[in-house]
Amino acid sequence: MRPTVWKIIQQQSEYMKTLYITYTHGDEHPPYEIPNALVANPLARERNLRYIETDLNRSFGVKTPVSYEEKRAVELEEMLNDYDLVVDIHRTTAQTKFCGIVTKSDDAVYVLPYGVSAVVLVENIQNSLISRAKHGIALEYPYAYSLHTGSVPLYRVKKFVTAEPHWIDFEETEQGIPYLVNEKAYHGKCFLLEKIHPNINSNLRE
Ligand SMILES: [Zn+2]
In angstroms, the CA 51 to CA 192 distance is: 31
- The rounded Å distance from CA 51 to ligand 1 centre is 10
pLDDT class of 89 with cuts at 50, 70, 90: very high
Type of residue at 78: E
**Which residue from 129, 159, 143, 162 is spatially nearest to 58, judged by alpha carbons?**
129
Burial (0-12, 13-18, 19+ Cβ within 10 Å), 99 = buried
Q: Does the residue 178 lie in any domain?
A: yes
Expressed as residue numbers, the domain containing 164 is 5-197
- The predicted pLDDT at position 155 comes to 40
Residue 132, C-beta contacts closer than 8 angstroms, at least 6 positions apart: 60, 61, 77, 80
Average the pLDDT over each of 58-67, 77-86, 173-182, 188-197 and give the range with the smallest value. Answer: 173-182
| Mean pLDDT confidence for 163-183 | 39
Phi-psi group of 182: left, alpha or beta (phi > 0 → left; psi -120 to 50 → alpha; rest → beta): left
Residue with the larger pLDDT of the pair 197 and 63: 63
Domain count, the chain: 1
Q: Does the residue 97 lie in any domain?
A: yes
Residue with the larger pLDDT of the pair 192 and 58: 58
Q: Does the residue 41 lie in any domain?
A: yes
According to DSSP, the residues that pair with 140 across neighbouring strands are 90, 99
Residue with the larger pLDDT of the pair 141 and 155: 141
**Which residue from 95, 141, 132, 84 is spatially nearest to 114, judged by alpha carbons?**
141
Enumerate residues with CB within 5 Å of ligand 1 (an ion): 25, 28, 90
- The rounded Å distance from CA 72 to ligand 1 centre is 16
Residue with the larger pLDDT of the pair 195 and 159: 195
- The rounded Å distance from CA 3 to ligand 1 centre is 23
- The rounded Å distance from CA 25 to ligand 1 centre is 5
Q: Does the residue 203 lie in any domain?
A: no
Q: Does the residue 12 lie in any domain?
A: yes
- The predicted pLDDT at position 47 comes to 97
- The predicted pLDDT at position 134 comes to 92
Q: Does the residue 205 lie in any domain?
A: no
Query: Mean pLDDT across the chain, nearest whole number?
Result: 71
Q: Does the residue 115 lie in any domain?
A: yes
pLDDT class of 14 with cuts at 50, 70, 90: low
In CATH, what number is assigned to the domain containing residue 189? 3.40.630
